[in-house]
Amino acid sequence: MKVLHTTKERTAGGGLQETKVAAEAEGLTIRKAHVSDIPRAHAIIDAYARQGLMLKRPLTLLYETIRDLVIADVGGRVVAVGGLHVMWNDLAEVRSLAVADDFRGQGIGRRMVEYMLDEARQMGLVRIFALTYQQEFFAACGFNVIEKDELPQKVWKECVYCDRFQNCEEIAVIRYLGA
């Protein structure tokens, strides 16, 4: 296994513990998105959106938020996408996290989240949330369920465009990062 990067987290005793993040998929690289990645990233997100498993994202929005996007690349092929969108001075959202069907179950989604959490720590963020139908996945990544109304109203600005806005069944999850 190839080490992609390391993260540092506070232990219960207050010390820092380094964790090596490795890839299970051969040749996996997790990195910031390039403009050329956007069409494939959009196709992956769109496949989930058509199944009603995530909010659809227009292609233009992906280009506009490219600095938020993280890509999993295997041999030059985009196999997963996710975004870390800063909402406030201490709050960011993991959004549009999706892994191509033929690469699911290999730990890529979890490694994408770890990469984004490390990025959040480097920016000094302390709260990371997601709105999801995949509660178990986020629980395995250290997130806890919260009531949606615990989040600031500004996190709902894109929800008004969702077909399910009036009957949203997404679950709010949050993870607090050590200071």
What are the structural domains of the chain?
A: 3-176 (3.40.630.30)
The reported pLDDT for the residue numbered 54 is 86
DSSP secondary structure letter of residue 41: H
Strand order in the sheet with 171-176: 28-32, 69-74, 77-88, 91-99, 127-132, 171-176, 144-146
Question: Do the beta carbons of residue 43 and residue 101 sit within 8 Å?
Answer: no
The reported pLDDT for the residue numbered 30 is 97
Q: Which two tokens stand for residue 11?
A: 């232990």
The reported pLDDT for the residue numbered 72 is 98
The reported pLDDT for the residue numbered 23 is 40
The reported pLDDT for the residue numbered 15 is 47
85: part of which helix (H) or strand (E)?
strand 77-88
- Walk along the chain (179 residues) in steps of 10 and give the mean pLDDT of each run: 42 45 67 98 96 89 97 96 94 96 95 97 96 93 91 59 61 87
Phi-psi region of 172 (alpha: psi -120 to 50; beta: other; left: phi over 0): beta
d(CA 56, CA 15) in angstroms, rounded, equals 41
Q: What helix, strand, coil percent values describe the chain, rounded to 5?
A: 35, 35, 30
Give the dihedral of Cα atoms 3, 30, 151, 137; nearest 10 deg: -70
What are the distances in angstroms from CA 67 to CA 20, 48, 112? 24, 22, 15
d(CA 150, CA 153) in angstroms, rounded, equals 9
Alpha helices by DSSP H, 5-74: 38-50, 59-64
Give the chain's end-to-end CA distance (angstroms, integer). 30
d(CA 20, CA 158) in angstroms, rounded, equals 35
